[in-house]
Amino acid sequence: MSEHDAKVASLVARLNEPSTSEAGSSRTPATEIDDDDIFAELEAEIENDSSAAFREHGMEQLKREMEQLQKMKSVGHGQYREVTDEKEVVQLSANEPRCVIHFFHHKFKRCEIMDKHLQRLAPKYFGTLFIRVFVENVPWLVERLGVKVLPCVMTFINGTSKDRFIGFEDLGNSDEFETATLEWKLINSGVVQKDESFGPSVTYGTKTAVRQHIRSRDTEDNDSDFDLDE
């Protein structure tokens, strides 16, 4: 990456810095800074830069980066959202470079706990799509992937399943596990990417699922029973 590219990348990265308070809660809508305002600020920085070459090429590159960011945001990057349409879940898992899917049920307390941790991680890793899926909305997909115990978190890289975390067995088997523990699991899975300066690589012995692609529906929907991991 050239010096100019690195400078633009640094400016664009400011659009996606997780904005949290000291208590760790997300920024409220009332204090949210509009993307247009940030773009105007970055545009001014480019125009006032001492390098003529950077001023000439920086704005065009910044606009391309902004278009890509807006496209990713429209899909749901930077947030943790529920997807109710089974076809959309299949498309997202197949088309997104990196995707984390939480298969959950409303009646399971541990699914709520998992939601809490994923909610914290989604804004931090903008390049990865985080979604939650109610198992009763996706019966074919649940059967196709063999989801039987909840919560079940699956990671997908370039359309291929990489790892799955069943219940809390890989997270200390405790309801009190730290978000950082799940974070390291996802980093080691490769589904989230962190700068090398973040810290050394740590391996927790994650169980690796059989790698598979989610293909088009080719079987009839079937009801599935789920077990709560305790």
Whether the Cβ atoms of residue 92 and residue 82 lie closer than 8 Å to each other: no
pLDDT of residue 17: 62
- Quick one: average pLDDT of 80-84? 98
Can you give the residue ranges of every domain in the chain?
3-75, 80-228
Residue from 76, 75, 42 nearest 59 by CA: 42
Greater model confidence, 165 or 25:
165
pLDDT digits (tens, 9 = 90+) for 112-162: 999 999 999 999 999 999 999 999 999 999 999 999 999 999 999 999 999
Contacts of residue 220, defined as CB under 8 A and 6 or more positions apart, other chains included, come to none
Structure tokens at 62: 């910044």
Tell whether the model's pLDDT for residue 102 goes beyond 50.
Answer: yes
Beta bridge partners of 154: 101, 164
Radius of gyration for the chain, computed over Cα atoms and rounded to the nearest angstrom: 20
Beta bridge partners of 133: 103
Q: Which helix (H) or strand (E) holds 86?
A: helix 86-95
pLDDT of residue 121: 97
pLDDT above 90 covers a percentage of the chain that reads: 52
Q: Which CATH number fits domain 80-228: 3.40.50.2000, 1.20.58.2030, 3.40.30.10, 2.30.40.10?
A: 3.40.30.10
pLDDT digits (tens, 9 = 90+) for 21-30: 433 444 444 3
pLDDT of residue 227: 54
pLDDT band at 59 (very low <50, low <70, confident <90, very high): confident
Q: Which helix (H) or strand (E) holds 100?
A: strand 98-104
Give 213's DSSP letter.
B
